[in-house]
Structure formats: C-alpha cells, structure tokens
Amino acid sequence: MPVDLDSYREEADRFLTELTGAYYRHFAGLEATLELEPVYERFAGLTTVEACETLREAAAGAPPRSAPVELWRFACEGHLGSVTRAQEELLANLETQLEATVDGHTVGFRMLRPTLANEPDRNRRERLECARAELAAELLPAYRDAAGEVQAAARTLGGGTVRDLYESFGLALGPLAEQCRAVLDDTEDIYVTGFDRLLRDRAGVSLGDARRWDVPRLFRAAAWDDAFPAERMVPALEGTLAGLGVDLRSQRNIELDLDERPTKSPRAFCAPIEVPDRIVLVIQPIGGLDDWRALFHEAGHTEHFAHTSARLPLEARRLGDNAVTEGHAFLLEHLVIDPAWLERRLDVGRGEEIASESAVRHLYALRRYCAKLLYELELHAEADPDTMPGRYVELLSEATKIEPSEVDFLADVDPGFYVTSYLRAWALEAQLARHLRERFGRAWFAERRAGSLLRELWSEGQSLDADAVAREVTGAALELAAAVLLGREGDHPLAPPGPSCACSRAAPAPRLTSRAPTLRARGLALDRALRADRDPGGGALCRLGDVHLEDAVLELGADVRLVDALRQSHAAGEATEAPLEAVEAVGLLLDLTFPLAGDREHAVLDLDRDLVLRAAGQVEREHDLGVRLPDVESWQPRRAAVAGARRGRPPQLAGEPAHLALKGGQLAEWFPPDDRHHRPPSRYVVLPEI
C-alpha cells in the first residue's frame, strides 16, 4: 500500500518533538522518571513492521542518505526503539535511583564517574570504580534483554543481523573499519609514548601500572581548573559566538536551562525539541576543562539545529547523517583547547601545553572509538551477546592500553552504530578546522566571515552527509586519518622533534580549493592590548600575518550591525529585519596600514565606516566596533542572500538601508573578558556523550 510521505513526515516530526521533550524533562531533572510508553503508543503507526516494509519498498533503488532511505531508516530505528522502550525506561529510572556508599558517603550512580574524576586519592578512586561496576552489574539484565529484542527485530525487518540492516541503509561499515585499523596501527607508537608521559607527569603512574580509575582523573585535567572557572563558562561561550556574529541571548529559538536541580545531568546537553523553533541547551556549570569542552560541544549542536532552515524537509532537519551535527559540535569544543583561542579569549599563557595534553586525550578517544566500532561489528554479528565480554576487554585494552570493566560490554554500545558518527565527525571537524585556519587565519573564531560560512553550513541542516560537506567546503574526501592531527599542520603535537611520525604520514594535508569571495577586512576588531598582528599600525612592523600585499585593492564601504537590538532573533529564515536601537556612535576607523588577516594574495581590503548599536552584553576581550544589519553577512536575512561564500561567490545583500538614530555623547561601557561517556538514548536526541 503506497504511503503518503508528506503525512508521514508531519506525524514523524510530532513524534520526535514529544520523544525529545520527554528525554529533556527527565535528564534536565524536571521529571523523576522517563516516560516513553505513552509517546510510542500515540505514534505507534509510524514504526510498525508494516510501515517499515512500505517505506523500504519506497526506498528501493534510492541512493544512501536520500530522503526515502532516511525515512525508511527512521521507521526501522523507531521500531527498534519501540521494542526496547521498556528496557530504556527501566535503565534510565534505575540510573536515577541506584546509589553506592563509599567510605561512608552516598553517591548516586550517575554521579559516580564525575566523583571519581574529581577524586585525587587513587585508592578511593578504585573503591568508587568498584562500586560503580557493582551497580552496573544490576543494569546488565535490562541491557541483555534489549540486545535480544534488537537482534530479533532486525531479523523481522529483513536485515538478517543488525549489521546487515544498517548496511542496507547505506552505512559503509567495512571501509570505515579498515580506516580504523589503519589509524590504530599508524598511531600505536606515538600514542604509547605520549600517554605514558602524560600519566607519569599528571598521575604519577606509568602506562603499564595505570588502571581504568586513573583515566577519568587524568583527563579531568584538574591542574587547569584555575583557567576554566564555572562562572566564566557561559560568558566565554557568548563571547566566542559573538566573534562569529551570533548573539546567543537574542536567539529566541534557543532556551538556556541554567537552573540547578538535584537529578539534573551534570553534563551539558542539547535537546532539539523542535528544529529549528525550540532548542534547549541544558547547563549545570561545574568548571574545569572537561566541563568547558562539554558545554562548547553541546553549543555546537545547539547552533546547528537553531540555524537549520525551517523550509527543509524532516529528513534534512532532524534525520540525515549525524556525523554532520557532531562535526559542528566538535568544531566548537576543540576551540577550548586551541592555543590561539585560549590566548585571545581567556588570557591563558600556556595554551600549547594544554593543546599537547588534550592531543593525548583526543588520541585516546579516537583509538577507543576505533576499537569500539571493530567490537560492535563483531557483537552485532554474534547470536549470543554473552560470549562477547572477553572480546570487548581484549579489543579496547589493545587500543587504549587500559583494561575496561567487562560489565560494560553492552552499556558501552551506542544504538544504531552511532560510533560511526563520532569517528566521521572527528574527521570532518579536523578538515573543517584546517580549512578555516588556512582561509581566515589562526583566529578564525573571531572572524565574522568565518561565522557567515558556518551559518550557511548550519542552515543546511543535514541535507548533506559528512562526506559531501567535506568535499563542498574543502575540496577533499573525508578521511579518518585527518582526525589524528586535530586539523593541525605538520607533525602530531605529541611527536618528538625529527622526521615526520607515522601519524603525520597517515594524514596528508587535504587539498584545499579556493572557495572564498574576495577578501574583506570587515569589522575591524581591536583588542584592548592592540596586539601587533591586529594593530592598525602593524604593517609598519611587518606583521602581515598570512597574506601578501601585492596587487591589493582598496575598497571603502559603510556597514551597519545590530548587537542585541531589541533582542531580535538571528534564527534561520527570519522574515524581517530587526529595528535599530538608538545607542552611542563610535568614530571612523580608517588606517591604510592595517595588515590583511586573510589567506591569499590579490586580496581586497575593505575598510569600513563602523558604528556600534548595542545593548548591554559581554563579548569578552574582543570589542567589535563593526555595525551591521542583522545577518547581512550571516546568509540568513529572508534567505535571499545565500550566494555561496564557500563556493567563491560574493554575497548579495538582502537587507534594506538602515536609518540610524543616535544619541548620547559617550561610548558604551566595554565589558571585561570573561572520558565522559554517556549513552545517547536515540540518534535523534543529542544528550551527554563520550
């Protein structure tokens, strides 16, 4: 029987809204129990075996990632979720209720990992881990039941094994597994050397003596706590987004859940309840490098979903390749370990040291997830999951050199081969980051042109898969080897001086194609200290950055920008421009010796007459004197201005001329600067991860 795809999409959208809302309320601590049964009952028709079969027939012959295949995959995954919802509810509720008593202190199950990471005493960490493993054993029956239900359902859906089902959706599991094996081989020596050195320096143990309870404490990076206080997390995020031309507080489709609640997840997470109309960023700031990374990661998801065009179909807004949204999330997360960002935003003077330590953590996670994919491929081909605990320990121990607890052999498996999304996202992020640095400079995060490019990518939702995004933006194929270098040039930051290491040879620089419009030095931003490389007089000091001045062209222009004007949203597809708010004017900025912060010769210098219209807000140490119509360069106004900066075409402005009403005789006040592992319950809900 033919299916009405438009009606199916509408019903599926409502289902995902209710499902995500239920997850949000539970993990945000608003509801003590996770109630999924009523949601699945109301939308039972979406995920029946009959619906899956009908959509499979509609998808016959369609290419991977196409709309029919994505709807078919949605129905099948919804069916898998429906047959395991009882176990999902039980697990979520048990995780809320279970407690352990260690040394006279009671700790909830979900708080055991954070508590362990914050515990300096190694012997107590071991006791905490033993207590966690004992409670995790109580969850095993529910995990076993769920695994059995998934295997049976995969056979019912005609997929044979779970792997067979997902390969029928177009997931290239075999080729990715081969890339994982290559990464594990190529990074073995540098990983062992770097991880051993970090363990000795920070934990006082060698890699041979380290145990799994040492790893969370090591990556907790307590030595850097003073540089990453809890009270500066949100202001730093706001300032970073402001540098990209995004005003977080004025995005009406984003809710910031900042309230403290006893059962609220200690990790930040994003709940895309309605895409793009209601995205919730849930935050309970604790502080520390790890917490900052989690916040920026989830903020990447948040901005991606919030900027997604409402005009896109369900498949591009809420389904598609989750490596794309994870790639955007890692792009923001890795700013927190970027030496240029640390120096510019937080005044951290030891950014390279943080970057080197973080490279160890990244390589640990990358190798761990490579091993996880290899394990999951075997697990999902095995009839009896209870034969797999030993194999789980073997594969992950070989990759990380740390023996995991075999009790986690099912809990450490993400639904729907989500492990592939993380792996491919790391590759995408590395290639995007490298492209942004080469095109906009090391401080690309402070360039509104970079923000314009990102907002254009965000607006496309997941209409393109990660491979297509990489090709479109960088001109290079998506390669897992690129993830090894975190998008850096040259050797891995852990490599000793000398000839290139194996990991560098395994990750050649992707060929970057020229897709930028003419270079425009818009929105001159002045640091308080007027760094030499940003100093308008820096040209006289020969601090020209990465550009050449031959054949330069001078272009003068006037631009206007709103910052917080009447708290208007910058959401995708906004139909009207925000009114102007009368505030103080900032003078004329013209200095012909301003060095071009660009990426190629034959650059065009566009010096602006800039004004500032702003409401009180914090943009950290960069004080942007640029003034513009909202999103004239962000590819959003009426969506008629999407001209394709990433493809080398200049934008066509869609905004109308502004009438400026200025008052006041003084400048506005400048404000001062300012291995998590959680199982995502569904590929449609972005909750705390890795």
Beta bridge partners of 622: 527
Residue pair 377/177 in contact by the 8 Å Cβ criterion: yes
CA angle 448, 449, 450 (to 5 degrees): 90
Profile the chain (690 residues) by mean pLDDT over runs of 10 residues: 84 96 96 91 94 94 92 95 92 93 95 92 97 97 95 90 94 97 97 96 95 94 93 96 97 96 90 98 91 96 98 96 97 96 90 93 97 97 89 98 97 94 97 96 97 98 96 95 72 47 40 30 26 32 31 35 36 37 33 34 34 35 34 34 40 33 26 32 42
Instruction: Name the region of 644 (left: φ>0; alpha: ψ -120 to 50; beta: rest).
Output: left
C-alpha span between 473 and 471 (Å, rounded): 6
Residue pair 270/279 in contact by the 8 Å Cβ criterion: yes
C-alpha span between 67 and 59 (Å, rounded): 8
Helix residue ranges per DSSP H, 380-417 = 389-400
Establish whether the linkage from the previous residue to 276 is cis, with ω within 30° of 0: yes
Residue pair 80/153 in contact by the 8 Å Cβ criterion: yes
Determine how β-strand 525-527 pairs with β-strand 622-624. Answer: antiparallel
C-alpha span between 376 and 140 (Å, rounded): 17
Give the pLDDT confidence score for residue 263 in this predicted structure: 87
Contacting residues for 185 by C-beta, under 8 A, at least 6 apart: none
> Which tokens go with 185?
């081989």
Give the pLDDT confidence score for residue 493 in this predicted structure: 54
Give the pLDDT confidence score for residue 350 in this predicted structure: 87
Residue pair 133/407 in contact by the 8 Å Cβ criterion: yes
Number of residues assigned to the chain: 690
Report the predicted TM-score, pTM, of the whole model to 2 decimal places. Answer: 0.74
**Residue 170: φ, ψ to 5°:** 105, 5
Give the pLDDT confidence score for residue 596 in this predicted structure: 35
Amino acid at 570: H
